Structure 1
């Protein structure tokens, strides 16, 4: 049964955070969705395109990584997020191709406390052959996807600006609360869905935010590195890339922080409004409006109040302050 791993960030106001453009995280997310049976929200036509261009044995090669009971990528196969300059995909794949089989086997032994699960047995028996097959699969996935990544630079720059604005404006907790619809942010902890749930503490390490250009529910992370913890999350606005359109120019600061829909909600509830009125403003379903309002309520920016038979929403003092700062 899937649960949630917890990362205790400590006081958010003193959190060290950086945005990192790491194509390797996107590659792993694409691979997990298209070939590993781990949905990340990739559009169906692109999922089909990646599968059609992948080697015929891809699913067999990847099966140890995405087994139902023991899902995870050994540390030695993950992208290096601590380098002073993030390597491109070609360099990352060269590093994996040159990986010593002994390093891979040591990581597997450490990850599973010496009891390596059966699905990893073919890798243990023939590590060099498996590494070469794994790199071959990743190369095919990236070749199929590369046109999307090549158009991503404006969105990556915009996301860096969005996070920087949140840090400077003291609204990083608001940003973290809405970073991924699959995550929860409560108190000082971020909860992420995980097949093997564990509890981690940042303990003064730097938090790296890695925008992932794969799908709307992308989730990939590593909390065990000694110097940093990193989270891969859906790049806001990535649908524009899939649809081969140019990304829009950066909007107002409030939209950069909370997103377009939640910015519209915050501005509308300067005076009390019903959920139906909000859904009308957003031109969306009641369930979508309820979801976005729930996220804003969790962040302490709006509150529900009963007026007779009706429930209305209005901004809190914190919500008013955010509007004042960013207007």
Structure 2
């Protein structure tokens, strides 16, 4: 049975939100999937490339971080701090220079004095482990760097999409579609986690981090003092596995709510039935019904039954959103 950590965000109207294209989060997702046995949905061809790119014995080096008994990466070993530093070269150099004493102290603190058996080899030779670990991450990024560069347009488009949603009260639509197994309900984000906890955002900023790895990507940190952040698959990831470049989107309404939901809102300049919308948008009535339900939950349309038909109409918020993002 799936278990979830909960992040209680509070009222979205006052939620400070940012998007940061943090390559270190993508790197950790890639390492977890290709080398740590924790599926993130990385494309099989890239999983093979990354596995072949690292030094021999990398699996044994990484085993403590991804052991089934307890999966934990100490903060000093994550190339994501500070979160706002997006030059991964700087992050990896800093990681290679981590003091063994700092790592040992963090392990002692994180495990409350009883370091698990799988970490004993690290405790015995921390300096050797740090150098080997840093070399693995550098090798993975050297192999994957060109793909990250190719994703620049997708990352820019996602930054624009979230930014527009934040100023148009459409954040619920963004949060409900972050990742396949992530849920958002009643101001709370539910994230799959083998060791679930409940977190209060408080006054901290919410940072969304699009990940360029796989469709199952999910990396997060809800216990930092400065911000809570969640990494999720960047929309349009499939386009990267081909050779064509990705052009930034121009339709801001589609960027925020997706192509089909944008079509529904625009078709509802006059009230319409599920059947008429399905015909206009070339899809099934069941598909339209599902997306209308999501738009209704976000307060952008209402539905009422009239005889054998269900009629949808835009709310004032729906009208305002279409006007704002169609200018």
Per-residue deviation, residues 163-209 of structure 1 (Å, max 9, x unmatched) = 21112212222222222222111111111111111011111011111
How far residue 265 of structure 1 moved from its aligned partner, in angstroms, is 4.2
* CA distance in structure 2 between the aligned counterparts of 1:292 and 1:143, rounded to whole angstroms: 41
How far residue 72 of structure 1 moved from its aligned partner, in angstroms, is 2.2
Contact 1:282–1:289 under 8 Å retained in 2:
no
How far residue 264 of structure 1 moved from its aligned partner, in angstroms, is 3.2
Aligned to 2:152: 153
How far residue 69 of structure 1 moved from its aligned partner, in angstroms, is 3.0
Aligned to 1:196: 195
* CA distance in structure 2 between the aligned counterparts of 1:305 and 1:59, rounded to whole angstroms: 57
Distance change >3 Å, CA 317–CA 17, structure 1 → 2: same
Distance change >3 Å, CA 88–CA 195, structure 1 → 2: same
Structural mapping, 1:1-327, within 5 Å: 2-82=2-82, 86-268=85-267, 271-274=271-274, 278=278, 281=281, 295-301=294-300, 318-327=317-326
Deviates more, 1:51-60 or 1:218-227: 51-60
* CA distance in structure 2 between the aligned counterparts of 1:164 and 1:290, rounded to whole angstroms: 27
**Secondary structure class of the residue paired with 2:173:** helix
Distance change >3 Å, CA 266–CA 124, structure 1 → 2: farther
- Structure 1 unpaired stretches of 5+: none
Distance change >3 Å, CA 208–CA 216, structure 1 → 2: same
> Who wins on radius of gyration, i.e. which is larger?
2
Distance change >3 Å, CA 206–CA 269, structure 1 → 2: same
Distance change >3 Å, CA 153–CA 196, structure 1 → 2: same
* CA distance in structure 1 between the aligned counterparts of 2:300 and 2:59, rounded to whole angstroms: 45
* CA distance in structure 1 between the aligned counterparts of 2:302 and 2:63, rounded to whole angstroms: 46
Q: CA RMSD in A?
A: 2.8
* CA distance in structure 1 between the aligned counterparts of 2:288 and 2:55, rounded to whole angstroms: 42
* CA distance in structure 2 between the aligned counterparts of 1:225 and 1:208, rounded to whole angstroms: 11
* CA distance in structure 2 between the aligned counterparts of 1:292 and 1:95, rounded to whole angstroms: 46
**Secondary structure class of the residue paired with 1:36:** coil
* CA distance in structure 2 between the aligned counterparts of 1:294 and 1:38, rounded to whole angstroms: 33
Distance change >3 Å, CA 81–CA 128, structure 1 → 2: closer
**Secondary structure class of the residue paired with 2:35:** helix
Contact 1:305–1:313 under 8 Å retained in 2:
yes
* CA distance in structure 1 between the aligned counterparts of 2:61 and 2:291, rounded to whole angstroms: 39
* CA distance in structure 2 between the aligned counterparts of 1:322 and 1:196, rounded to whole angstroms: 39
* CA distance in structure 1 between the aligned counterparts of 2:96 and 2:284, rounded to whole angstroms: 47
* CA distance in structure 2 between the aligned counterparts of 1:22 and 1:46, rounded to whole angstroms: 20
Deviates more, 1:317-326 or 1:62-71: 317-326
Aligned pairs, number: 325
Distance change >3 Å, CA 314–CA 122, structure 1 → 2: farther
Deviates more, 1:253-262 or 1:197-206: 253-262
* CA distance in structure 1 between the aligned counterparts of 2:82 and 2:242, rounded to whole angstroms: 32
- Structure 2 unpaired stretches of 5+: none
* CA distance in structure 2 between the aligned counterparts of 1:26 and 1:277, rounded to whole angstroms: 38
